[in-house]
């Protein structure tokens, strides 16, 4: 939440020295790939190789599985044939996440944290359905999720992957309990994560429908959310927290109006409205991270709304704007 997501401007960071088995495997495969060599005439060697391309590919996968097996029990599931074939189909589309080539970033510990079996299966399905082409490099990381720059057939996208192996979401039940859209929820961790993803998708869609500047939520599956990317090829647009704005009073008025629309028209309280969850994109403010937003009839909606307005007024005051909390609150809540 506040400060929970760190946005990285990126690229070219030096590769970490720690051992990264999946990255090592991808590098080994690249070294034996003829396409990675300078142009040469390899025809004289073709007759000496009586193995089919399929056999070569299977041998490469077997080598990867052997090394994964040595890495620990976490990856033993990859020895099963159907999973090995699955990973063989998508591994070249995950080079950024693997820390290979120009996308150096992910060390073994982070990869283990984000890409568990359930997540890889979800990514595989979304790739098979053409929602995702490649996952390139990370643009934000936090306790609840990591966000990656990715590509699709229609252009750049952002892929937000929520963690499934920690207990962070147990502290977020206050944003779900009392929301009539998600009644009867059992407290099993994985179900809670999947509901949180659906909740963010619905909140973003609802806000955007009523004119709030939010990234478009495109599709979700299990713990993966695919949405519009705010930025360019060099990195994401900055957060409000990370920039000095030229006209803070104008920014304050714009954000206060966004809060009014969220409450009056969309019927929601954002519940985590802060400089950490606002981006400056193409000269305008955009609201992100809407998973915690609640509907008006949620028992804590008014409490969350006042907190949102208070944080905005505090930001304005720190930046030299003479903003009054009472007046700002009346502007947001009065019809």
**Packing angle of the helix pair 81-90, 117-128 (nearest 10 deg):** 60
Whether 46 is covered by a domain: the verdict is no
Whether 127 is covered by a domain: the verdict is yes
Is the pTM higher than 0.75? The answer reads no
142 torsion bin: left (phi>0), alpha (psi -120 to 50), beta (else):
beta
Same domain, 211 and 290: no
Q: Which of 192, 212, 232 is the last residue of a domain?
A: 232
- Say if CB 308 and CB 273 are below 8 A apart: yes
- The rounded distance, in Å, linking the Cα atoms of 206 and 326 is 27
- Is 60 a residue whose pLDDT tops 80? no
Same domain, 142 and 190: yes
Same domain, 112 and 255: no
Average per-residue pLDDT in the chain? 78
Q: Which of 49-53, 92-96, 255-259, 311-315 has the lowest mean pLDDT?
A: 49-53
Same domain, 78 and 166: yes
Whether 138 is covered by a domain: the verdict is yes
Q: Which of 180, 202, 232 is the last residue of a domain?
A: 232
- The rounded distance, in Å, linking the Cα atoms of 192 and 173 is 8
Same domain, 10 and 125: yes
Same domain, 155 and 88: yes
Torsion of Cα atoms, 279 then 285 then 291 then 295, to 10°: 160
Task: Check residues 29 and 268 and name the one with the higher pLDDT.
Answer: 268
Whether 42 is covered by a domain: the verdict is no
- Catalytically annotated residue among 21, 116, 179, 272: 272
Average pLDDT over residues 212-218: 97
What's the confidence (pLDDT) of residue 86? 78
- Is 151 a residue whose pLDDT tops 70? yes
What's the confidence (pLDDT) of residue 193? 84
Q: Which of 211, 232, 253 is the last residue of a domain?
A: 232
What's the confidence (pLDDT) of residue 128? 93
pLDDT band at residue 168 using 50, 70 and 90 as cut-offs: low
pLDDT band at residue 191 using 50, 70 and 90 as cut-offs: confident
Same domain, 146 and 286: no
Whether 43 is covered by a domain: the verdict is no
Same domain, 76 and 194: yes
Same domain, 296 and 222: no
pLDDT band at residue 204 using 50, 70 and 90 as cut-offs: very high
Average pLDDT over residues 195-221: 95
Provide the domain count of the chain: 2
Whether 216 is covered by a domain: the verdict is yes
Distances in whole angstroms, Cα of residue 232 to Cα of each of 97, 147, 325: 19, 15, 36
User: Where residue 288 sits, what CATH number does that domain have?
Assistant: 1.10.510.10
- The rounded distance, in Å, linking the Cα atoms of 251 and 245 is 8
**Residue 235: Cβ within 10 Å count:** 15
Same domain, 134 and 253: no
Distances in whole angstroms, Cα of residue 189 to Cα of each of 30, 62, 228, 294: 38, 33, 27, 20
Same domain, 210 and 265: no
Percent of the chain beyond pLDDT 70? 62
Same domain, 185 and 250: no
pLDDT band at residue 269 using 50, 70 and 90 as cut-offs: very high
Q: Encode pLDDT of 294-328 as tens digits.
A: 999 999 999 999 999 999 999 999 999 999 999 99
Average pLDDT over residues 267-291: 95
Query: Please, which residues bridge with residue 219 across strands?
Result: 226
- Say if CB 116 and CB 224 are below 8 A apart: no
Average pLDDT over residues 189-197: 80
pLDDT band at residue 215 using 50, 70 and 90 as cut-offs: very high
pLDDT band at residue 149 using 50, 70 and 90 as cut-offs: very high
Whether 17 is covered by a domain: the verdict is yes
Percent of the chain beyond pLDDT 90? 48
**Any idea which residue has 């990856």 for tokens?**
75
Whether 47 is covered by a domain: the verdict is no
Q: Is 289 a catalytic residue?
A: yes
pLDDT band at residue 30 using 50, 70 and 90 as cut-offs: very low
Q: Is 308 a catalytic residue?
A: no
pLDDT band at residue 166 using 50, 70 and 90 as cut-offs: low
Supply 45's token pair.
Answer: 């060697």
Range of the structural domain that residue 14 is part of:
5-37+52-232
- Catalytically annotated residue among 21, 116, 179, 289: 289
Q: Are strands 235-236 and 284-287 parallel, antiparallel or unpaired?
A: unpaired
- The rounded distance, in Å, linking the Cα atoms of 17 and 14 is 9
Distances in whole angstroms, Cα of residue 317 to Cα of each of 181, 251, 254, 299, 325: 36, 12, 15, 29, 10
- Is 108 a residue whose pLDDT tops 90? no
């Amino acid at each position: 939440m506040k400060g929970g997501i760190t946005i990285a401007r990126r690229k070219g960071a030096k590769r970490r020295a720690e051992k990264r088995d999946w990255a090592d495997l991808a590098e080994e495969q690249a070294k034996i790939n003829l396409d990675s060599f300078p142009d040469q005439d390899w025809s004289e060697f073709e007759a000496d190789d009586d193995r089919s391309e399929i056999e070569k590919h299977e041998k490469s996968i077997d080598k990867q599985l052997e090394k994964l097996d040595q890495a620990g029990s976490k990856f033993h599931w990859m020895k099963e044939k159907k999973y090995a074939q699955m990973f063989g189909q998508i591994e070249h589309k995950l080079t950024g996440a693997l820390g290979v080539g120009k996308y150096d970033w992910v060390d073994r510990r982070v990869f283990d944290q984000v890409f568990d079996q359930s997540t890889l299966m979800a990514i595989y399905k979304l790739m098979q359905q053409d929602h995702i082409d490649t996952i390139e490099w990370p643009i934000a990381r936090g306790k609840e999720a990591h966000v990656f720059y990715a590509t699709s057939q229609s252009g750049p996208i952002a892929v937000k992957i929520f963690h499934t192996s920690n207990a962070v979401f147990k502290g977020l039940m206050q944003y779900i309990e009392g929301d009539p859209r998600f009644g009867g929820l059992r407290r099993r961790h994985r179900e809670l994560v999947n509901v949180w993803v659906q909740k963010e998708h619905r909140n973003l869609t609802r806000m955007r429908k009523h004119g709030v500047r939010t990234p478009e939520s495109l599709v979700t599956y299990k713990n993966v959310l695919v949405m519009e990317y705010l930025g360019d090829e060099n990195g994401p647009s900055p957060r409000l927290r990370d920039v000095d704005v030229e006209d803070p009073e104008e920014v304050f008025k714009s954000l206060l109006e966004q809060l009014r629309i969220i409450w009056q028209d969309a019927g929601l309280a954002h519940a985590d409205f802060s400089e950490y969850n606002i981006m400056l994109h193409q000269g305008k403010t955009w609201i992100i991270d809407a998973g915690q937003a609640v509907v008006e009839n949620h028992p804590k909606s008014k409490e969350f709304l006042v907190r949102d307005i208070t944080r905005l007024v505090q930001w304005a005051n720190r930046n030299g704007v003479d903003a009054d909390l009472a007046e700002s609150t009346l502007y947001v809540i009065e019809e």
